[in-house]
Chains A and B, each alone.
Chain A
Amino acid sequence: MKSINQRMIICGLLMFAGAGLAWAITPTQKIADAREKADLDAMIPRQIDEWKIDTSIVPIEPSPEVKALLNKIYNQTLSRTYVDPAGRRIMVSIAYGGDQSDSMQVHKPEVCYAAQGFEVFNIVAGILLTKYGELPVKRLIATQGNRNEPITYWVVVGDKAILSGMKQKFAQLSYGLTGKVPDGFLVRVSSIDRDRQSAYQQQEEFIISMLGAMSETNRARIAGRFGA
């Protein structure tokens, strides 16, 4: 009986040690704090080649209730529509999350569009070739009634662009286990277009122009450091 008592005490001590370990390895160092504060509005050029800002269409956003839940200090969003001289429009929506990425979740097109009654399908992973390197993107289509909206988006965790989903969680983990809380971006580019292929093509060109029009530091934040 005595040995049982001792064993129970060892169990208790082990559990205290487990709680202590969890506390000790909890990441506290926010990468966002060490960096220059992200100002999305200033980071993305207002004119990209021949694309200019058009205020007539506002891209789809998470519902106001959901947005209200996000931490105001560590989260930012930017929604813009660009139009070229031929009248073609492209919508850009960027979400920045400075702490663990709740905002990455709610802004994910699969979640955000579906929550507004769009049907979301044809989600495929792809590679977008830029002159700086390869950008892993996801492409999908959201439809509602007559509105057919092909979407290209990518996620940046810390300073690396990553396919959203499991890989994103793993990237967060690899930061977290070294005691760091990564910040992150979600960049979504979409257009209302019946023709999926031409829409994707146009979005790709736009993304390449947008990255080209940005400073190197801003580009590294929005699209991750290539080759990192």
Chain B
Amino acid sequence: MTIAIGLPLTAHRSDMSSTLDTRLPQVTAAWAEWLPGVAGLLVLYVPTFYELATTLWQQDEFAHGPIILAVIAWLIWDRRQALFASPARTAPVPGFALLVFGLLIYAVGRSQDIILFEVGALAPILAGVLLATRGWPALRALWFALLFIAFLVPLPGFFVDALTASLKNNVSAIAEQLLYTASYPIARNGVVLTIGQYQLLVADACSGLNSMFSLSALGLLYLYLMRYKSWLHNGLILVSILPIAFCANIVRVVILVLVTYHFGDATGQGFVHNFAGMLLFIIALLGLFAFDSLLRVAGAFFGRGHKA
């Protein structure tokens, strides 16, 4: 009996080790193949990201940068098979064209201090290398990681200025209306809210623009991971991300005003720095999940009705 059991076991084990033995050199060979590409990327982007980490990413508005970078790295890692698969057909012409185009954009961006170009060039550079060495299937497998690079790029200044100003005004106006309706002694002058004895300035950070940016990134990532088949479902969630972020920001500002009014300026200011941003995120994410569940329930309901 023991022999009978032992035999297949040892047979199985030798089987395993033989597959391991053949796989291991292949994997290392595949990694080695990527060495020149990885070295090139490091030379291009280690200085860039080091500078970003010591300057831009230090500011609250761009603090999401390293997280986005980590997410991109993870997205690529998640699809690493595509990097090592032996290609049936590659696309060297569009690949090298994209790569050179990306490198030119990079060179202009890096030398002229246009971060938009410098960081944005990462997408065509990666896409070019993938096409030239692995072909279209690899690009398709990694499309989302490449798209996500868009969130690594700081929004252009004029765009931010224009949006921030109008968002701030809208947020202050709506917050004033809400609190006035709730019969609080509130008045507004531009972006300065006066409640009771306190005066609150709705600062740039309160425009909610940054939260809209990071929530868009999170929302897209969520959709990507959920892999809903329905275009309608995906589309509705996409469209709802920004309004949800906007409403969450209004809730934040209103809570901030109320905390200041009821508990004093010091508590209000402490609250701003410690908790309000986090709260906004939690509210917005809960809103997004709630909307998603609603859609799923509705989908199940109508889907069943359709079948019957």
- Asked, given contacts A4-B90, A21-B103, whether A15 binds B125 with beta carbons under 8 Å apart, the answer is yes
Contact with B along A2-33 (1 / 0, CB 8 A): 00110111111111111101111111000000
| B190 and A119 within 8 A (CB) | yes
Contact with B along A60-83 (1 / 0, CB 8 A): 000000000000000000000000
| A15 and B112 within 8 A (CB) | no
| A21 and B107 within 8 A (CB) | yes
CA distance A19 to B92 in the complex (A): 21
| B37 and A11 within 8 A (CB) | yes
Tally of contact residues, A, Cβ under 8 A: 43
CA distance A172 to B113 in the complex (A): 10
> Could you say which interface size class chain B belongs to?
35 or more
* A157: min CB distance to chain B, Å: 13
CA distance A144 to B109 in the complex (A): 39
A38 at interface (Cβ–Cβ under 8 A)?
Answer: no
B191 at interface (Cβ–Cβ under 8 A)?
Answer: yes
* A144: min CB distance to chain B, Å: 7
B41 at interface (Cβ–Cβ under 8 A)?
Answer: yes
A126 at interface (Cβ–Cβ under 8 A)?
Answer: no
B6 at interface (Cβ–Cβ under 8 A)?
Answer: no
Contacts of B37 in A (CB 8 A): 8, 11-12, 15
* B108: min CB distance to chain A, Å: 8
| A15 and B90 within 8 A (CB) | no
A105 at interface (Cβ–Cβ under 8 A)?
Answer: yes
Segment of A110-118, A127-135, A189-197, A198-206 in the binding face: A110-118
* B131: min CB distance to chain A, Å: 10
* A residues with CB within 8 A of B: 1, 4-5, 7-19, 21-27, 100, 105, 110-111, 114-115, 117-120, 143-145, 165-166, 169, 172-173, 176-177
Which 6 A-B residue pairs are closest in the complex by CB-CB distance? A15-B40, A12-B36, A119-B190, A18-B103, A22-B110, A22-B107
* B residues with CB within 8 A of A: 33-37, 39-41, 43-44, 86-87, 90, 92, 96, 99-100, 103-104, 106-114, 125, 128-129, 132-133, 157-158, 161, 165, 169, 189-192, 201, 203-204
25 contacts between A and B (CB under 8 A): A1-B86, A5-B33, A7-B132, A11-B128, A12-B36, A15-B39, A18-B106, A19-B40, A19-B43, A19-B44, A21-B104, A22-B106, A22-B111, A23-B111, A25-B107, A117-B191, A118-B190, A119-B169, A143-B190, A144-B189, A145-B192, A165-B158, A169-B114, A172-B112, A176-B111
